[in-house]
Chains A and B, each alone.
Chain A
Amino acid sequence: MSNEQRNDSPVNAGRRRLLGGAAALAGLTIAPGVFLVHASVPTRPEGTPASDQVRWGMLVDTNRCRVDCDACVTACREENGWEGHDRPETDAKWIRKMTVTERDGRQTSLPMMCQHCAEPPCAYVCPTGATFRRDDGIVLVDKHLCIGCRYCMMACPYQVRFFVHEPVASRSPNHPRGKGTVEGCNLCVHRIDQGVLPACVEACGERGQGALIFGDLNDPRSRISRAIAEYGAESVRADLELDTGVRYQGLS
């Protein structure tokens, strides 16, 4: 679906008018740590392929993210059913909280998950093509093709891909999991396709500090694009030039 087609959709046009007004108002007061509003997510009609006109991304405002808050982690775990076996070294953690301590002692809290790179090393090295990047920028694993070689885990610079080390006791209807395959954050693709925000973004807005913005990086009018344009953002390990879909504010 092209941008033009999507923009012509009455549902989206109406949604944009409504949100546009609010965004314009909020935009007047935008400041790091003060303003972050959920982006609108257009529904992808069933049977329509993902479009490369869209580049889904996430912006993390680390100024708002608190060390003692893990609302995003809990929401992701419940949404995607990756609860573990109380074995921290082998349990999956699609999203985790990290604390970064500067030389001057200043601490930054942030969530770390698949960075949905435009040039994903994991997808490049996957021998069967099980790991792939959807046209709209979401990096996914086809569970039917994954042979569990774990080369993607060797290749990922962010340590955000997980091998399912043991049989899965409970299954989430939202995401198939299987012993012996690799998995990771899929940006809640099942929600995005239905026009709903990823679980972590929603939870951060409702129970956390509103530190996450989700939206279309290709659309200069999207809130995520405007927030990045106005205050800047950076990728973790930007030196690797992977063009990540997840960006961070307040890191440096």
Chain B
Amino acid sequence: MASRIRYQLIGQQQPAPFWTLAAVAAVVVLAGLAAAAYMATVGHHITGMNNQVVWGVPHVFAVTLILAASGALNVASVGSVFGRVDHKPLARLSGVLAVALLIGGLTVLVLDLGRPDRLIVAMTHYNLRSIFAWNILLYTGFLAIVAVYLWTLMEPRMRVHSTKAGTVAFAWRIILTTGTGSIFGFLLAREAYGGAIMAPLFIAASLAYGTAAFSLLFLAVMRSQGRRAPEQLLSGISGMMGVFVMAVLLLLAIHFLTLLYTPGRHDVVRFLLLEGGSIPATLWLGKVVIGGIVPAVLLFHGATRRRAGALAAASIMVLIGGFAHVFVMIVGAQSYPLQLFPGREVSGAVFDGRAASYTPTAPELLLGLGGIALVVLIAMIALRFLALTPKHLPDEPVDEPVAAEPSAEDESGGGEEPAPAASHG
């Protein structure tokens, strides 16, 4: 061991901007809670949801955050499970962000329930035939497993178990995302979903969106300290995210091609890709161009893949693409009319034979944004009070003065760990 990795607390050196940002996040969280309370009081008729589009923008935010939660653990998994030692110092950040994202997503999901006050019912009555009930167990299990994993990373006496804990967390999150995808894949009534492919599609999506969310947090922390990330590390993360972004595009293409190959599904494909109002634009522009092709170029091109700015831009675009993707999968799929009498014209009082329109209202958007703000707030509090941030990364350039925060080793007891012997780009 050449040296030991030392960790630090964030926000001590410059508390004013740190707590200002945290306060802004808290205000948005409160606004989201107020929006949820308003929805719960007057009912969902003040949202854009209706008898056909029953899951709206809150679900889009919630599912995107939950997908990102699973994927945010990538960097930790790459370090603990796949032996990429240069990623290992970032495992704590990765684990904490995963927990924060999951809590943010679940909070939005719960507050969009018709009866959020009955959360205890959901925790005490399980219909084990329901994939939704499985997901409740998968989510709570994920929080517990990642908490143990973080413990093995931060407690020196437990460090010998970190690989085992990391492996369990890795396996669990793949199962978790399979469960999330299956929420949609198991819906035989909705023509836009394609059964088994929804699970791998959601796994790939989680890997992409989670890595993007992690990259933004990591780069923000580095920037706040005036530090530069090692180029090899940036290149590694860029390459990983680029592969995931391409995997999502590939699986999406296969999904639509499979639907196209089924004669009865041609209309739904035409709706989602060409004729469904804002849905095709969201898919093509939001997911394919902004969330797919452009970031893939940035992540793979030799001139940009080692640059923090390019990685940050690509990450923002991948997340925008993630929201667009989930919007199309949730809102687009519901907007397409159910086929009660395939091949015949129908009319009736509940969107029969016609596409539903959906325009989100302010309370829904505030609730979703409140979920994102909750993620930011949890992450900031964790950064402030837990030794998550490495003081210095292997191969980190030191050509600029480092505005280092005080070491956390005295406060946390878990403030340092053996540095990786070598890093692999």
Q: Which residues of A contact B (CB under 8 A)?
A: 85, 87-93, 96-103, 112, 121, 123-130, 144-151, 153-159, 162-167, 179-182, 236-237, 240
B113 surroundings in chain A (CB, below 8 A): 147-149, 180
Assembly CA distance A162 to B114 (angstroms): 12
**Given A97-B348, A97-B349, A101-B346, A148-B121 contact (CB < 8 Å):** no
**Given A98-B340, A180-B43, A181-B115, A128-B125 contact (CB < 8 Å):** yes
Assembly CA distance A100 to B188 (angstroms): 22
Q: Is the CB of B114 within 8 A of A181?
A: yes
B52's nearest neighbour on chain A, judged by CB, is: A159
A111's nearest neighbour on chain B, judged by CB, is: B348
Q: Which 5 A-B pairs have the closest CB atoms?
A: A148-B114, A180-B114, A166-B43, A157-B189, A98-B348
Give 1 or 0 for each of B114-140: 1 = CB within 8 Å of chain A CB: 111011011001110111110010000
B347 surroundings in chain A (CB, below 8 A): 98-99, 101
Q: Is the CB of B126 within 8 A of A125?
A: no
Could you give 16 example pairs across A and B, Cβ below 8 Å?
Answer: A85-B45, A125-B131, A127-B122, A127-B126, A145-B118, A147-B113, A147-B114, A147-B119, A147-B121, A155-B187, A157-B338, A159-B51, A159-B351, A165-B45, A180-B43, A182-B114
Q: Which residues of B contact A (CB under 8 A)?
A: 40, 42-45, 49-52, 54-55, 113-116, 118-119, 121-122, 125-127, 129-133, 136, 183, 186-190, 334, 338-341, 343-352, 356
Assembly CA distance A49 to B281 (angstroms): 54
A101's nearest neighbour on chain B, judged by CB, is: B345
Q: Is the CB of A99 within 8 A of B348?
A: yes
Tell which of B54, B121, B186, B356 has the most Cβ of chain A within 10 Å.
B54
Assembly CA distance A155 to B119 (angstroms): 21
Q: Nearest-CB distance from B332 to chain A (Å)?
A: 13
Number of inter-chain CB pairs below 8 Å: 166
B184's nearest neighbour on chain A, judged by CB, is: A154
Q: Is the CB of A156 within 8 A of B122?
A: no
Tell which of B133, B338, B341, B343 has the most Cβ of chain A within 10 Å.
B341
Q: Nearest-CB distance from B58 to chain A (Å)?
A: 11
Q: Nearest-CB distance from A195 to chain B (Å)?
A: 31
Q: Is the CB of A96 within 8 A of B45?
A: no
Having A99-B348, A103-B343, A148-B118, one finds 10 other A-B pairs with CB under 8 Å, namely A87-B45, A88-B349, A89-B51, A124-B129, A125-B131, A129-B126, A147-B115, A154-B190, A159-B352, A162-B51
**Given A124-B130, A147-B119, A179-B43, A102-B344 contact (CB < 8 Å):** yes
Assembly CA distance A89 to B349 (angstroms): 9
**Given A102-B344, A128-B121, A158-B338 contact (CB < 8 Å):** yes
Assembly CA distance A97 to B133 (angstroms): 34
Q: Is the CB of B121 within 8 A of A89?
A: no
A150's nearest neighbour on chain B, judged by CB, is: B54
Assembly CA distance A117 to B345 (angstroms): 24
Assembly CA distance A123 to B44 (angstroms): 23
Assembly CA distance A50 to B339 (angstroms): 33
A151 surroundings in chain B (CB, below 8 A): 130, 132, 183
B122 surroundings in chain A (CB, below 8 A): 127-128, 147, 149
A178's nearest neighbour on chain B, judged by CB, is: B115
B339 surroundings in chain A (CB, below 8 A): 237
**Given A148-B114, A180-B115, A96-B349 contact (CB < 8 Å):** yes
Contact of B130 among A85, A89, A126 (CB under 8 A): A126
Assembly CA distance A92 to B132 (angstroms): 24
B348 surroundings in chain A (CB, below 8 A): 96-99, 112
Q: Nearest-CB distance from B111 to chain A (Å)?
A: 11
B44 surroundings in chain A (CB, below 8 A): 90, 163, 165-166, 180
Assembly CA distance A12 to B45 (angstroms): 47
B134's nearest neighbour on chain A, judged by CB, is: A127
Q: Is the CB of B114 within 8 A of A240?
A: no
Assembly CA distance A240 to B126 (angstroms): 26
**Given A125-B186, A165-B43, A236-B341, A145-B125 contact (CB < 8 Å):** yes
A181 surroundings in chain B (CB, below 8 A): 114-115
A153 surroundings in chain B (CB, below 8 A): 54
Q: Nearest-CB distance from A242 to chain B (Å)?
A: 9
A251's nearest neighbour on chain B, judged by CB, is: B341
Q: Is the CB of B136 within 8 A of A157?
A: no
Q: Is the CB of B115 within 8 A of A112?
A: no
Assembly CA distance A87 to B48 (angstroms): 12
Q: Is the CB of B346 within 8 A of A99?
A: yes
Q: Nearest-CB distance from B412 to chain A (Å)?
A: 38
Assembly CA distance A198 to B376 (angstroms): 54
A103 surroundings in chain B (CB, below 8 A): 343-344
B42 surroundings in chain A (CB, below 8 A): 166-167
**Given A100-B345, A180-B115, A127-B52 contact (CB < 8 Å):** no
Q: Nearest-CB distance from B90 to chain A (Å)?
A: 35
Assembly CA distance A127 to B187 (angstroms): 14
